[in-house]
Chain A
Amino acid sequence: MTIEQKDSQFIQKSIDEAIERYGAKQDELIPILTDVNRAIGYLPGEALDEISHQLKLPKSQLFTVASFYRMLSTKPRGRHVIQFCENAPCHVAGGRQVWQALMDELHLGPEETSEDGKWSLLTTSCLGICGVGPVMMIDDDIFGNVDPKAVPDILARYH
């Protein structure tokens, strides 16, 4: 079995599971896309084709939704996704220095993915834990009171 076939099967399986869970209805489109995005890491064109087919919706409509929401991505993302809160409470609590430290450490700009596919550096809207700003999220882990000096240590925990 080639890797590509395996991927196609995996994509198919992720889509089938999501549609099974929510039902093939237009108003379930966002939950379906969210689940598939989570399973695969992003929404490849192949997946949008298949969902479009099963939900009987034009692919253009799927793409317009997939490209609108921040948590859905039509481009591949790194193995670890860093989401940095760039909002005012974190900003006044010293967020700018943390953001700079992240960019320096990873040699990445905003919304970029590293060449080795390890990291994606994104900004996020408020995570609602403003009491402990600056805040960032790596995959599903939340880090509060982040100090710029602690950034290398935090990143080193991920392989």
Chain B
Amino acid sequence: MKYYRSHVLVCVDPDCLKKGAHEVMDALQDELVAQGLIDEVQVLETSRIGDCAHGPELMVYPEGVHYINLTPSDIPYLVEEQFLKGRIATKFVEEDKKTTDEELSAPTSKEVRVVLRNCGVIDPENIEDYIAEDGYQALGKVLTESTPEQVIDTVLRSGLRGRGGAGFPTGKKWQFCRASAETPKYIICNADEGDPGAFMNRRVLEGDPHSVLEGMIIGAYAIGCSQGYIYCRAEYPIAVRTLNIAIKQARNMGLLGKNILGSGFDFDIEVRMGAGAFVCGEETALMSSIEGRRGEPRPRPPFPAVKGLFMKPSNINNVETFSNIPQIMLRGPEWYASMGTEKSKGTKTFALAGDVKHTGLIEVPFGLTLREIIYDVGGGIKDDKEFKAIQTGGPMGGCLPKEYLDLSMDYEELAKAGSIMGSGGLVVMDEGTCMVDIARFFMEFIQDESCGKCTPCRVGTKRMLEILERICDGKGQEDDIDTLEMLCEQIRQDSLCGLGQGAPNPVVSTLKHFRDEYEAHIKEKRCPAKVCKALIRYEIVDGVCTGCTVCARNCPVSAISGERRQTHVIDPDVCIRCGICMQVCNFNAIVIN
């Protein structure tokens, strides 16, 4: 094993990236090469060292020194002090801050890392790094000490539920597949993470691929199969590359292939890439895609556990589900079940996106409230604006308003509130978001991604989109809300797969919680959030305008007129509502009505 005397973990979270984390990292690599230290010091990308307020920042181990506010030009000095002279470059260290290991593992006290524990801590392209963190120990234990039935029992007792969205108990799924008499059987890892705003799986695949492989090998042993597939979306080329490296290393070490660890158990894994189709995240569509067909869902029954891939019994789990397995085997089902709520056990990773201060990945136990997630973990709403809604569960999820901020995040509570857990995307929206526009937006997505196989989804979503577009254009009709509700119900009931059945959800939930906004659009031809272009007017406030002419000079369609030092006027018939005048005005004299 390659030995490094120091490890540098550079934070590459969005905020730090904006401030130039990659430039700092490049400078660090160059300097280490120049000083001949590149074989002694390892540089890795990590996330959430601190709160990114003083980025770019990095940690140096084993000392655990936290350097902040770095620029590429600071690097030669830092390398000289830290790595050549072996002393802390104090001028880049936050003064009154004690640095400890916990700082890296849990940036806020509400977070717990199980799935993400190795991400940003180990080198994903080095199997030895994973093994040093107890990797493949669970596999060894399972293969030598447990029967497949015992493995399934352990998973059942842990309470682990499918992290792909539906939340079906993983142990039960394994049991069904094990019970199928036909052979061969297949185990599939669903790495087709397509939900907009969700990138939890990408992080695990790129940061800790072996945890997924280990989970899959244990699963394969439990259900009794010898071939596995990882179906990864083509939009994640780095994840595919990392996986292939990991598989090769595992094969070289006898952890994949024939007679794994001398136990007589054979198993191997192949990576399959999608080619850009959201619906392939649906399990039966995914199997069609692996078979080389259009990714269209199939009717169930027969369920995949009976007739799945190549019409053989198959078990399919999500990336996050598999990466939980080794820890459950190692630390015991009781430990796992001690986290979370009564029916939702363990932790869940979420991708926080939208108008929240700290976007990025988090991992928290089930049962935290939305308020805790948004304000304590996410740092609150950007620019201290007012919270308006949160969209959970991806494009087939629902939007929840502020009355639900104290909702406990678990499968049951979310379903009761009219949304879903989904794979874990959380999009936070502030007061400046128009909910009708958002519903239109999600419908556009669904319409785009509908595979076209069944009519309710293919045609129904098109009709819904037309109505929503009409409403946003100020041409909504009195009965539009009723028509929408009828379509929602029919599409939900009659579609073949989860995509169609969930398609109306954004509309259903916004109609339920923000009905007044729809009514304002339709009846008063007004967009309360001032987003829908056809329903807003830019106006110049008399008395605030100084007549500086900046707006008139910048207007692309010459809609603004007025004498110098006199209040200007916008002609609403010419104005295209591009908003440039508002951006360039130095006196905030332009408002939207």
User: A residues within 8 Å of B by Cβ?
Assistant: 25-31, 33-34, 61, 64-65, 68-72, 86-93, 100, 124-133, 144-145
Partner of B235, one of A89, A100, A128: A128
Q: Is the CB of A92 within 8 A of B275?
A: no
The residue in B14, B202, B578 that gathers the most chain A C-beta atoms within 10 A of its C-beta is B14
Q: A34 to B277: give the CA distance in the assembly, Å.
A: 13
Q: Is the CB of B235 within 8 A of A126?
A: yes
Report if A93-B354 is in contact (Cβ < 8 Å); known contacts: A68-B277, A69-B277: yes
Q: Is the CB of A92 within 8 A of B433?
A: yes
Q: Is B153 at the interface (CB under 8 A from chain A)?
A: no
Partner of B294, one of A26, A27, A68, A145: A68
Partner of B359, one of A26, A70, A124, A130: A130
Q: Which 3 A-B pairs have the closest CB atoms?
A: A87-B196, A70-B276, A29-B292
Residues B9-68 near A (CB distance < 8 A): 13-14, 17-18
Q: A92 to B356: give the CA distance in the assembly, Å.
A: 11
Residue in chain A with minimal CB distance to B438: A88
**Which residues of chain A have C-beta atoms less than 8 A from B275's C-beta?**
30, 33-34, 69-72
Rounded to whole Å, the gap between the CB of B527 and the closest CB of chain A is 14
- A interface footprint on B435-466 (CB within 8 Å = 1, 0 otherwise): 00010011001000101000000000000000
**Which residues of chain A have C-beta atoms less than 8 A from B119's C-beta?**
none
Q: A28 to B451: give the CA distance in the assembly, Å.
A: 21
Q: Is the CB of A125 within 8 A of B355?
A: no
Residue in chain A with minimal CB distance to B195: A126
Report if A89-B353 is in contact (Cβ < 8 Å); known contacts: A27-B291, A125-B235, A130-B197: yes
Rounded to whole Å, the gap between the CB of A101 and the closest CB of chain B is 10
Q: Is the CB of B290 within 8 A of A27?
A: yes
**Which residues of chain A have C-beta atoms less than 8 A from B236's C-beta?**
128
Q: Is the CB of A129 within 8 A of B199?
A: yes
**Which residues of chain A have C-beta atoms less than 8 A from B202's C-beta?**
128
Q: Is B274 at the interface (CB under 8 A from chain A)?
A: yes
Q: Is B551 at the interface (CB under 8 A from chain A)?
A: no
- A interface footprint on B180-222 (CB within 8 Å = 1, 0 otherwise): 0000000000000111111100100000000000000000000
Q: A61 to B292: give the CA distance in the assembly, Å.
A: 10
**Which residues of chain A have C-beta atoms less than 8 A from B197's C-beta?**
87-89, 126, 130
Q: Is the CB of A125 within 8 A of B276?
A: yes
The residue in A126, A144, A145 that gathers the most chain B C-beta atoms within 10 A of its C-beta is A126
Q: Is the CB of A68 within 8 A of B295?
A: yes
Q: Is the CB of A88 within 8 A of B359?
A: no
Q: A72 to B573: give the CA distance in the assembly, Å.
A: 43
**Which residues of chain A have C-beta atoms less than 8 A from B193's C-beta?**
128
Q: Is the CB of A124 within 8 A of B235?
A: yes
Q: Is B273 at the interface (CB under 8 A from chain A)?
A: yes
Total A-B pairs in contact (CB under 8 Å)? 121
Partner of B17, one of A27, A127, A132: A132
**Which residues of chain B have C-beta atoms less than 8 A from A61's C-beta?**
293
**Which residues of chain B have C-beta atoms less than 8 A from A30's C-beta?**
272-275, 289, 292
Rounded to whole Å, the gap between the CB of B88 and the closest CB of chain A is 30
Q: Is the CB of A88 within 8 A of B391?
A: yes
Residue in chain B with minimal CB distance to A26: B292
Q: Is B75 at the interface (CB under 8 A from chain A)?
A: no
Q: Is B223 at the interface (CB under 8 A from chain A)?
A: no
Q: Is B234 at the interface (CB under 8 A from chain A)?
A: yes
Between A and B, 19 residue pairs with Cβ closer than 8 Å are: A26-B291, A27-B290, A28-B292, A30-B273, A30-B292, A65-B292, A65-B294, A68-B451, A69-B275, A88-B197, A88-B391, A91-B441, A92-B433, A125-B194, A125-B235, A126-B194, A132-B14, A144-B14, A144-B17
The residue in B197, B449, B578 that gathers the most chain A C-beta atoms within 10 A of its C-beta is B197
The residue in A30, A34, A61, A128 that gathers the most chain B C-beta atoms within 10 A of its C-beta is A128
Q: Is the CB of A92 within 8 A of B289?
A: no
The residue in B273, B276, B295 that gathers the most chain A C-beta atoms within 10 A of its C-beta is B276
Q: A124 to B195: give the CA distance in the assembly, Å.
A: 12
Q: Is the CB of A128 within 8 A of B278?
A: no
Partner of A71, one of B196, B234, B360, B445: B234
Report if A131-B451 is in contact (Cβ < 8 Å); known contacts: A30-B289, A69-B276: no
Q: Is B429 at the interface (CB under 8 A from chain A)?
A: yes
Q: Is B427 at the interface (CB under 8 A from chain A)?
A: yes
**Which residues of chain A have C-beta atoms less than 8 A from B291's C-beta?**
26-27
**Which residues of chain B have C-beta atoms less than 8 A from A87's C-beta?**
196-197, 445
**Which residues of chain A have C-beta atoms less than 8 A from B328's C-beta?**
none
Q: A93 to B356: give the CA distance in the assembly, Å.
A: 11
**Which residues of chain A have C-beta atoms less than 8 A from B151's C-beta?**
none
Q: A26 to B275: give the CA distance in the assembly, Å.
A: 15
Q: Is the CB of B194 within 8 A of A34?
A: no
Residue in chain B with minimal CB distance to A85: B196
**Which residues of chain B have C-beta atoms less than 8 A from A129's C-beta?**
199
**Which residues of chain A have C-beta atoms less than 8 A from B433's C-beta?**
92
Residue in chain B with minimal CB distance to A55: B292
Rounded to whole Å, the gap between the CB of A108 and the closest CB of chain B is 18
Residue in chain A with minimal CB distance to B359: A131
Rounded to whole Å, the gap between the CB of A86 and the closest CB of chain B is 8
Q: A88 to B578: give the CA distance in the assembly, Å.
A: 20
Residue in chain B with minimal CB distance to A87: B196
**Which residues of chain B have C-beta atoms less than 8 A from A100's C-beta?**
578
Q: Is the CB of B199 within 8 A of A34?
A: no
Rounded to whole Å, the gap between the CB of B353 and the closest CB of chain A is 4
Q: Is B260 at the interface (CB under 8 A from chain A)?
A: no
Rounded to whole Å, the gap between the CB of A133 and the closest CB of chain B is 7
Q: Is the CB of A127 within 8 A of B294?
A: no
Q: Is B351 at the interface (CB under 8 A from chain A)?
A: yes
Residues B343-378 near A (CB distance < 8 A): 351, 353-355, 359-360
Q: Is the CB of A71 within 8 A of B199?
A: no
Q: A86 to B447: give the CA distance in the assembly, Å.
A: 13
Report if A126-B273 is in contact (Cβ < 8 Å); known contacts: A88-B442, A92-B433: no
